[in-house]
Amino acid sequence: MKISSIEILNFRPYGNEQTAQFSTLAGKNVTTLYGTNGGGKTTLLNAFTYVLYGKLSEDLEDKERLINSEAWSAAEIGQEVVMSVTLTFEHDGKTHRITRRRAVTKRGPDQDVGKEDFELRIEDGSGVWRKVNNPSNVIEKILPGRLVGFFFINGERIEYLAKQEAYSEIQSAIKTVLGIEPLERARRHLPSARNKIRHKLKSEEDGGIAIDKVNKEIDDFESEKEEKREEHDLLRSEIGHLKADVESIDTRLRSLEGAAELQENRARCERLKEDADAALKDDLESRIRLVRQYGYLTFLPGLSEQIHVAGGVLRERGQLPAPLKQTFVEDLLNAAECICGTHLPEGSPQRAKIEEWLARAGLAEVEGAWAVLQGAMRTLEEQRKSAIEDLERLDRSIDQRRKTVHGLKGDLDEIAAKLKNVPEEDISRLEARRDERLQAIDEKTRRLGAVQLRLEELDALLKQKSSLVEKLEVKNATNKRIQKRIAVLREAEEALEKTLELLSERTRRSLDNRIRRVFEKSSLKDYTPELTPDFELELWIGSGEERRRAPKSTGENMLLSLAFVAALAEECRSVAQNDAHAQMDMSDFPVVLDAAFGNLDVDYRRRVATFLPQMASQVIVLTSKAQAEGAADEYLAPYVGKQYVITTHSRKADVEDVTETISVDGRAYPYQVVSASFDGAVLTEVQA
């Protein structure tokens, strides 16, 4: 899939009909579009997802007002106003042209939903455009909707992928790539089939248990499990939405003059607290491991000295070292002859003297064991001292990290209090809403933990009861057949579960390797990335027992998330090319990235700019000129095939310090136009 162009008619700030062409050349695979903050970049990103899936991002305000305000205001009552987005792309040697159109009759100032049409036409080189009857299915097969967030990306939120709560989205992406939805459906349906068959079992008169009673218990557990699973999924979804809302509020606060500085300080403190929390968690886990392995040694003070003293006593008695080997003395007695030639008959005084040595000679084996014990004691004593030192070091570190976390929490509370007391109503209202969302997140997270614990308990109970049903000693032939069917279904369920786990794990490992390879080329620091078995993106310092979580800055989170997207695109291509039964028929992916450089410093802008052209065969970058200035656009320049300026027009006249023009490739282009005849955005192509 390579995007050729997008045509926009009266979509949000884009009035009338406007078109942008995108570079599809191999060596010039990047298209850049420069626009001011709030000038229409995020709207353009949403235009892609809207035309393909009818979806808009969560942070887009006034989603119901899709029709350009100028066009809507100019229309007469009763007049129909049309808005549309058309996307043209190449795929599998064919040209696809997809249009999503909305026509609304104006009945007042507010916009109705109106009638929406969705159309896809395909041209295969013959010059004839064929209309497709099921456009959504075709698009879903080319680029599944569950992957859209990984290839049409809001750069200001891409860091989310490097956070713990994104694991479900990453896991979902992996399953989508594998195309295992049919297997997942089968896995969900098998327990239901097994339960239906189980209910056909009938209690027997001389049976050990009442089957009906056990069935009732299993039904109750299954019912509760389903309820808890639904609650679990709902809580996770709600937490995700709440966190997205917090991020949206944070973005809004950063844009307000009275809150911007405080919000930046809060973002800094939150990053520091996140790093301190991770470091504290690592220290606590290290202490647990140390106590498990060497904790017993702390209860053995002086043991080495006691053993040394016991050895001294044995030496004073002449019992150590052993003077003779036991086998040597036994050979003399068996031969009844001393080494001096003296005969040793039974009962003789000479034989009695040799027999006395037999008991003493037996200590030779003891001496060998003693030597080993002494060596071990020296090692244990060294380990004991080292373990105590490590425990003391970890205790000091844990105490310090707790103080750091506590101090940062205090700083965050202070910032929140200041924001609540800001005179501007918008700021205090936003902060109050943010605080409300955070409290809700805490409450739902605690509830989520309790639900997860109960689900684990229910799984154990169901396993126990189901095993009891399968092991029943039944005599009735029908019951025996039913038992066999239940066992077969359970085995099929377990095999399917194992297959899904193996497929998912195989792809996770493959993605993990790809992420490392991509990240190492881009990172400024010697960190090792990992897609963990829990589908979380992590960064590590060191290796082996010395490995610990790396403190992730905005730059590292950005690179790590981009590395995952690049690895996912590469994995999708690999699956599409090598798997004849792949659910997707695409082998090429575009990446559209809004706010690619965010608040990164110069070094990380340079790194991201160097990395972007390698992410995919086609990359579309939406950025402000200020964000891309210098290092970023310089490093992107060799790969740029097309460029556009998004010019912001505003009727407002009393605006100071406006950047009226920007220079692209040595030419000046309008950037912000004040005292204009309309409010909106205009796409202007940069001339080569």
Q: Residue type for 645, please? A: V
- SS3 sequence, 404-459? HHHHHHHHHHHHHHHHHCCCCHHHHHHHHHHHHHHHHHHHHHHHHHHHHHHHHHHH
3-class secondary structure, 163: coil
Is 144-199+477-568 a CATH 1.20.1050 domain? yes
Of 122, 266, 171, nearest to 501 (Cα)?
171
Tokens of 234: 């709902």
- Please give the average pLDDT of every successive group of 10 residues along the chain, which has 688 residues: 93 92 90 87 91 82 82 90 93 91 88 85 89 88 80 72 63 69 73 78 59 82 88 85 80 79 84 84 88 77 63 55 58 76 80 70 56 63 80 91 92 86 80 89 92 91 80 74 81 83 83 85 80 80 74 74 81 69 59 79 80 85 81 82 92 81 87 89 89
Query: Under CATH, what is the fold of the domain 2-143+586-685?
Result: Rossmann fold (3.40.50)
Of 511, 509, 548, 544, nearest to 527 (Cα)?
548
CA-only gyration radius of the chain, Å: 36
For 293-336, write each residue's pLDDT tens digit: 877 777 766 666 666 666 566 555 555 555 445 666 667 778 77
Q: Residue type for 422, please? A: V
Please report the pLDDT score of residue 125 as a whole number.
84
User: Torsions phi, psi of 537, nearest 5?
Assistant: -90, 120
Say if residues 10 and 16 touch (Cβ distance below 8 Å): yes
pLDDT > 90 in the chain, percent: 18
Please report the pLDDT score of residue 557 as a whole number.
77
> Full-prediction pTM beyond 0.75?
no
What is d(CA 290, CA 569) in angstroms, rounded to the nearest whole number? 41
Identify the residue whose tokens are 């996912």.
568
Instruction: Give just the sign of the alpha carbon dihedral 234, 240, 246, 252.
Output: negative
Q: Which DSSP string do the residues of 249-314 spell out, in sequence order? A: HHHHHHHSTTTHHHHHHHHHHHHHHHHHHHHHHHHHHHHHHHHHHHGGGGG-TTHHHHHHHHHHHH
Identify the residue whose tokens are 């001294």.
312
For 564-605, write each residue's pLDDT tens digit: 888 887 777 777 666 555 555 555 778 898 887 766 777 778
Of 505, 510, 564, nearest to 539 (Cα)?
564
β pairing state of 537-541 and 528-531: antiparallel
Count other C-beta atoms under 10 Å from residue 81's C-beta.
20
Please report the pLDDT score of residue 63 as a whole number.
73
